[in-house]
Amino acid sequence: MKKNIQLENFIDIKSEVKEAIEKNKPVVALESTIITHGMPYPANIETAIEVEEVIRQNGAIPATIAIIDGRIKVGLSKEEIEYLAKLEHVVKASRRDLPVILAKKLHGATTVAGTMIIANMAGIKVFVTGGIGGVHRGAQETMDISADLQELAKTDVAVVCAGAKSILDIGLTLEYLETQGVPILGYQTERFPAFYTRDSGFAVDYQVNNPEEVANIIDVKWEMGLHGGVVIANPIPEAHALEQKLIDQAIESAIVEMEKSKISGKEVTPFLLAKLEEITVGKSLASNIELVKNNAEVGAAIAVAQASC
């Protein structure tokens, strides 16, 4: 058995990302399941490229994370994004999957948990996603709880998101995060957003009003040795939010169909998101794209503020 394995043995960091990390310039990590599992082609490619551009326009360097042929990539080229988007067999890569994907030289798209792990390895402290995973509805019987929550409890990365996906049990998700000591910061809001809508019906722990305030909080947390992530809940822009009644009805219909089809495990979220797009006649996809871009703008601003601390 080999010991003292070096990071370079299994991870490739794009040159501009590596230089930015070394010079303490702002870098924002991005996941890749949005490319392979979260959006249809070609919206997946277009959105991935647009989100990277939003980050650049706001003063930070984007680092989309994925695994190609068993090599972790921190920062993808446009060609690699297009290649990943067209692949048929890509494993959703969370903590449990990473060693298997690398050892078997497979392709992997990182979830929130997987992206947090790799971002932390590379020295990136701000990560932008659409929405975090959480406790699924009916988890009292199924025990279906996303690994994202455990990763937030232990990995030192700040996650900018539009709250938790509406398909989840948001109340139980927030209870779980509270138990794990993960701060929920509402970006210019007192309410926890629910992905497609601005208010889930639950409050955040604390409201924060600007990037500098967020940067100070996460720096203090980690300087104190309090390991684990921070959730920055950034509501979808009002102009792109869906009506609560519409999304609730769509989710209920999608869940009924999911149960009839006996969908479970990793297939649940992509199935439900695809059904929501179908039921809402594309409105959910349009909202998804806009909220990710909005999160990218806020995440870049936080990374810039943290780099200047």
Which CATH superfamily groups domain 7-244+286-307?
Indigoidine synthase domain (3.40.1790.10)
Say yes or no to pLDDT of 190 above 80.
yes
SS3 171: helix
Are the C-beta atoms of 30 and 62 separated by less than 8 Å?
yes
Q: What is the mean predicted confidence (pLDDT) over 2-14?
A: 74
Q: What are phi and psi of 26, to 5 degrees?
A: -65, 130
68/54 Cα distance (integer angstroms): 24
Question: Which structure tokens are listed for 157?
Answer: 């990365």
Are the C-beta atoms of 210 and 216 separated by less than 8 Å?
no
Encode pLDDT of 223-269 as tens digits: 999 999 999 999 999 999 999 888 888 878 877 887 788 877 667 76
57/39 Cα distance (integer angstroms): 23
Q: How many CB atoms neighbour CB 175 within 10 A? A: 13
Q: What is the mean predicted confidence (pLDDT) over 282-286?
A: 86
54/32 Cα distance (integer angstroms): 16
Say yes or no to pLDDT of 167 above 70.
yes
Question: Which structure tokens are listed for 71?
Answer: 């090599």
> Kind of pairing, strands 11-13 and 27-30?
unpaired
Residue located via tokens 């980690």 = 222
2/136 Cα distance (integer angstroms): 39
Say yes or no to pLDDT of 307 above 80.
yes
Q: What is the mean predicted confidence (pLDDT) over 274-301?
A: 89
- The reported pLDDT for the residue numbered 71 is 97
Please give the single-letter amino acid code of residue 190: E
Mean pLDDT taken over the chain: 92
Work out the angle between the directed axes of helices 147-154 and 112-122 (0-180°, nearest 10). 30
Are the C-beta atoms of 203 and 128 separated by less than 8 Å?
no
255/11 Cα distance (integer angstroms): 38
71 versus 256: which is more confidently predicted?
71
Are the C-beta atoms of 226 and 181 separated by less than 8 Å?
yes
Encode pLDDT of 83-124 as tens digits: 999 998 999 999 999 999 999 999 999 999 999 999 999 999
- The reported pLDDT for the residue numbered 266 is 66
Residue positions annotated with a catalytic role: 31, 165
User: Running DSSP on this structure, what letter comes out for residue 238?
Assistant: G
- Using CA atoms, how far residue 122 sits from 7, 10, 63, 151, 156, in Å, is 9, 12, 10, 16, 12
- In the chain, which ranges are continuous DSSP H helix? 15-22, 33, 43-57, 78-86, 98-103, 112-122, 139-142, 147-154, 170-179, 211-223, 244-261, 268-279, 283-307
- The reported pLDDT for the residue numbered 139 is 67
- The reported pLDDT for the residue numbered 141 is 67
- The reported pLDDT for the residue numbered 245 is 87
- The reported pLDDT for the residue numbered 268 is 72
Query: For the chain, which residues make up each domain, given as ranges?
Result: 7-244+286-307
Question: Which structure tokens are listed for 296?
Answer: 């990218």
99/285 Cα distance (integer angstroms): 32
> With bands split at pLDDT 50, 70 and 90, how would you rate the model's confidence at 2?
very low
- The reported pLDDT for the residue numbered 272 is 74
Question: Which structure tokens are listed for 170?
Answer: 């948001």
Ramachandran assignment for 167, one of left (phi > 0), alpha (psi -120 to 50 degrees), beta (any other): alpha
Say yes or no to pLDDT of 205 above 50.
yes
Encode pLDDT of 134-163 as tens digits: 997 676 766 778 999 999 999 999 999 999
79/81 Cα distance (integer angstroms): 5
301/281 Cα distance (integer angstroms): 33
Say yes or no to pLDDT of 221 above 80.
yes
Instruction: Note if the pTM is more than 0.85.
Output: yes
Q: Is 205 exposed, middle or buried (0-12, 13-18, 19+ CB in 10 A)?
A: middle
